[in-house]
Each structure stands twice: as C-alpha cells, then as structure tokens.
Amino acid sequence: MRMPDMGTLALRVFTYIAMAFLFFPILITLLVSVNPREFILPPSGFTLEWFKAAWTSDTFVRAMGVSLSLGLVASIIANTLAFLAVLAMVRYDFKGKAFINLLIMSPLLIPTTIFSLALYVFFARLGFGAGIPALIIGHSIHVLPFAVRILTASMQNFDTSLEEAARNVGAGPLRTMMSITLPVIKTGLISSFVLCFVLSWNDFPISVFLAPPGWTPLPVELFSYIKFQYDAVGAALASSLIIISGVAMVVIDRMAGLRRVMQR
Amino acid sequence: MKSRGAVTLLAPAVIALTIFVVLPLLWVVRTSFNQTVDGAYMVSAFTFENYTRFLGSSWYLINTLWFSIRIAVITTLISVLLGYPVALYIAQTRGLQRSVLVTMVLSPLLIGLVTLVYGWIVIFRGGGLLNSLMIALRVYDEPVRYMWDLKGVIILLVYIGMPYIVLSLLDSIERLNPSFVEAARNVGANRWKAFWSITFPLTLPGLYAGLVIVFTLNFSAFAVPLMVGANDTQMIGLVIYREALLNNDLPFASSLSVIMIAANATILTGMAFVFGKLILNRLEVKR
C-alpha cells in the first residue's frame, strides 16, 4: 500500500467538496425540519413538532394519498407492461428488435417538458384535458423504461432450464410462471417496483402539467406551499420525501445496484 | 410460430407507447399549425403564424432561444468541470467507499426537484447560508441575490446535471484498460501528459453521452427557472409551460416545442460531428 500522491490527494479533496455541494441542500432541509427555532442554524435542539404539523395538515395528508395511489397504480401498470415486453425481448429473436427497443426507451429520450406537453395537448384534443387518467398514464409511461431496464438485467441471468424442468414434470405455462419465473426474478421485480414508485412519488414536471385541480400530488402541493409560505413545516414535508426516497435508494441499491439502474 | 408469442407479449407496451408517446408527439406537430383565436380555444387551420411569431421576433430569438442555448452550454460545461475529477476519483476507490460515493452522487436524481429546491432556498436567501459564508470569506461584502435570479438557476442546473456527467464518465473510465495509462507513465509521461494523451481521448465517448443528456435536460428545463428564476429568465421550456398552462395557447406552445426539438437536434448533430472528428484524430495519432 503506497501513500497517495499529490494528484490523488487533490482529486480526493475536490471530490469531497463536490460531495458537500451535492449533499448540502439535503442535509440543510433535514436540519431545519428538526430544529425548534425556525431557520436559526445551527439547530438549538430537537423537535418533531414541524413533522407533526405537516403530517396532520389536511392538504398534505390528502396530497400524500394522491401521490401514494398514483405511485402504486403507475408502478403496477409500468411493471406489467415492462415484464411482458422484457419476456419477449430476452427470449425471442425477431426482426425490428432494435426499433422496438428504441420505442420502449423513447420516454427517456424525449425531454420531460415535451413529453408532458404532448400528453396535455393530446388529452385536450380527446376532450379530457389534464385529469386523473392523463396523470396516471403520464407517470406510467415515464417510468416504463426504468422498469424495462431492471427487469431485462434480472431476466438475462435467468436459467431457462428451470422452466423446462417444471414443464417436463407437467406444469402448465401459468403454473411455471407462478412457481418458477416470478420467484426467481423476485428481487428484480421488487427493486423495479420500488424505483418506479419513488420516481413517481417525487415527480414534479409531469404532475404540474397533468394533475387536475383537487387531485394534486405531494411535490406539486409542496411547490405551491413554499411559493407562498416559508416555514419549517415545508422543511418537514420535504424531509419526509427525502427519508422515503432514502429508504427506497437503499432497497434498490441492495437488490439491483443503484448505479446501473440510473444510467441513461 | 415462435414470434407469435413475442408479438402477444410486446403488444401491450407497444400499443401504449404508440398511443401515448408517438401519437401525442405527432399531434403536437399538427397543433403547431392551428390558429389561436382570442377568447376561443383554438381553431383548426394550417398557418405558420405561430412559427413566425417566434422566429420573426428578435426579442424571442435573443431572450428565449439564444438565452436558453447559452445557459444550457454554460451549465453543461460547468457540470463537466466539476464532474470529471469526481469521476476520476470515484474510479480509483473500491468497495464501500465507492458505493457510498456513488449513492451520494445519485441521490439528487431520485429525491426530486421541489424537495431539493427547498434546501436551496434556505441556502440562497438574503441572509442565508451562502451569503453568510461568502461574506465571512470576504468574497463580497453585501448579500447577493440568488433566489429569483439567474445565479440560482445556473447553480441548480449544474447541481442536477453533474450526477449524469459523473455517471457516464465513470462508466467509460472503468472500461479503460489501466495498462494503457501505466504504459504511458513507464515511458516517462507525467500524470498530466498521461491524462491528456490516454485517459481523456479514450473517455470522449462517455463524455459525449453525458453531454447529450445534460445539454438536452438543461436546454428544455422549465421547473428550475419556474421555481428559482426571475422575470428575465425566459428559458424556452418555461415559456412553453406558461403558454400551454397559463395562457392556454396550445398552438403557440406546440410550435415552440417543435422549434426546441429542432434546435436541440441541430446542436446535438454538431456535437456528434465535433466529437467524431476528435475521436478520429486521436486514433490517427495513435497509429
């Protein structure tokens, strides 16, 4: 083991400063949310009173319900579509595979602004405008490529002889799917589900275009709150979002590797 | 016979993407030729007036299109300057340290804009942390405005763009064969020389991938200028958002989207050309 030379040392110092830059706003939000004296840093104690205020506010509780159901429904839709598509992409060879792959990844390639506007204009044309269906579809389609990526990775490592064995001892296609395929790729499915949920749960750009009045997801509600009010209750709400995202990140990292999942 | 199974499995996703991505995009193009009528919603037509309204106005061209391009270029370059050393360092680490660093780099991507902006507001405010720090360090004497200002927008775009740069560079640095750098060092190249003649050219593809993502992201940004921008921060994504949702002018918003996509594609093509040349030149030299 040799001592790090000057160059490596300089890189390390630079990296730590950059990490501080990336992590500072997150840390600050967490600190403000448990600080009894609003915004006076460093914190002079510890309180959960802001959290209590945030989690008992009717508006926020309602928005949380919206985000929760939106995230769950979008994740279920995205993962179902992704699971079937990945099964075809991994197991079959056919013409136009590259084109299908491009189509499936397209929601990631189009700027979110354009994707949201396109859905908004399209639903307006159909006579609905922004509404719950548009919002659910927008979220599902947007997270679909991420689900496809995780599921592709876990399905590629799949040993198909397991399925053949099940078929040989007389299991039907459905039985094989339930007792072999799904259990084997379980971790992939769970991390894909968690990732889709957390991306939807934290989304602002799509929701702000497509959410109907009265059905506002949490980030949009937080945005309108901090626009007019600046207090530690906002920090507590932001911290709640951070904590949930943090837990999700740990789960995804353990199961699928965070880095591979986020690579574009 | 085998591919029948594939068709059935692919159908749901392909149909959903065709109806909810391809058709809406085509519909945006069609809508951009519609006519906007005061008071009414919009009238089906075939007119170029939405395009001429934007492209014929030097105010829009300079303060929106050119402004957005400049901001996107500046913030992308700063992200590269900050991200490259970080990627180089992370590539040298192993085990737990590496996974902690990678998670820290990635966390802003998963946490979501509004939440992050909350922390930045605390940092940006007049008497906030950034100003206190800068005044303590004697960088300047009076508090400076970051919130509702272009400075805040630039800081946030760099903040959000940097992780993507680190990620794509890390990927190509790891693919780099370490014996190349060692060989250069053995024949007497110092660290800088080895970096410029080996590491840098061989990571150009990764750098290019990162630039494409971050430039596109920042060029089309609307949430960041909406949340921390000022009145003169008229980035094109924000103008699209405002025209569509606040002014309900869908034809104009649609034509702006077409212009934005076209401008983005042109710039990316230029970038691909430059990078292609750079990579080819380096290969020639190597031979």
pLDDT tens for residues B50-81? 999 999 999 999 999 999 999 999 999 999 99
Instruction: Count the residues in chain A.
Output: 264
Show the tokens assigned to A142: 């947007």
- pLDDT tens string for chain A (264 positions)? 455 677 889 999 999 999 999 999 999 999 989 988 777 667 778 889 999 999 999 999 999 999 999 999 999 999 999 999 999 999 888 888 999 999 999 999 999 999 999 999 999 988 877 889 999 999 999 999 999 999 998 888 777 788 888 888 888 888 888 888 888 888 899 999 999 999 999 999 999 999 998 899 999 999 999 888 878 899 999 999 999 999 999 888 888 788 877 776
Inter-chain residue contact A18 with B86, CB threshold 8 Å: yes
Neighbours of B237 (CB within 10 A): 28
Neighbours of A226 (CB within 10 A): 20
Inter-chain residue contact A121 with B244, CB threshold 8 Å: yes
B84 vs A91, more confident = B84
- Cα–Cα distance, A125 to B186 (Å, whole number): 66
Measured at the CA of A57, the angle between CA A52 and CA A58, to 5 degrees, comes to 145
Measured at the CA of B217, the angle between CA B213 and CA B218, to 5 degrees, comes to 120
ipTM of the complex: 0.92
Q: Is the Cβ–Cβ distance between A232 and B118 less than 8 Å? A: no
Residue range B210-238: average pLDDT?
A: 95
Q: Who's near B133: CB < 8 A, 6+ residues apart?
A: none
**0.90 exceeded by pTM:** yes
Q: Is the Cβ–Cβ distance between B28 and B254 less than 8 Å? A: yes
* Separation in Å, CA A26 to CA A22, B106, B119, B138, B187: 8, 12, 6, 26, 46
- Cα–Cα distance, B149 to B225 (Å, whole number): 9
Q: Decide: residue B271, CB within 10 A, 0-12 exposed, 13-18 middle, 19+ buried.
A: middle
Between A97-109 and A58-91, two packed helices, what is the crossing angle to 10 degrees?
160
Q: Is the pLDDT of residue B287 over 60?
A: no
Strand segments, DSSP code E, in chain A are: none
DSSP-H helix ranges across A157-257: 161-168, 173-176, 182-184, 186-202, 205-210, 218-228, 232-256
- What was the pLDDT predicted at A8? 84
- Cα–Cα distance, B276 to B268 (Å, whole number): 12
- Cα–Cα distance, A125 to A116 (Å, whole number): 14
* Separation in Å, CA A107 to CA A114, A140, A152, A188: 10, 10, 17, 21
- What was the pLDDT predicted at B1? 43
DSSP-H helix ranges across chain B: 2-17, 23-31, 49-55, 58-60, 67-92, 95-111, 113-124, 129-136, 150-175, 178-186, 191-194, 200-202, 204-219, 223-228, 236-241, 250-286
Neighbours of A36 (CB within 10 A): 13
Inter-chain residue contact A26 with B112, CB threshold 8 Å: no
Taking all residues of chain B, what is their mean pLDDT, rounded to a whole number?
Answer: 90
Contacts of B251 in chain A (CB under 8 A): none
Q: Is the Cβ–Cβ distance between B129 and A259 less than 8 Å? A: no
- Cα–Cα distance, B280 to A225 (Å, whole number): 53
Contacts of A113 in chain B (CB under 8 A): 220-222, 237, 240-241, 257, 260
Rounded to a whole number of angstroms, the distance from the CA of A169 to the nearest CA of chain B is 22
Rounded to a whole number of angstroms, the distance from the CA of A182 to the nearest CA of chain B is 16
Q: Is the Cβ–Cβ distance between A234 and B118 less than 8 Å? A: yes
Contacts of A106 in chain B (CB under 8 A): 17, 21-22
Contacts of B229 in chain A (CB under 8 A): none
Inter-chain residue contact B119 with A110, CB threshold 8 Å: no
Rounded to a whole number of angstroms, the distance from the CA of B119 to the nearest CA of chain A is 4
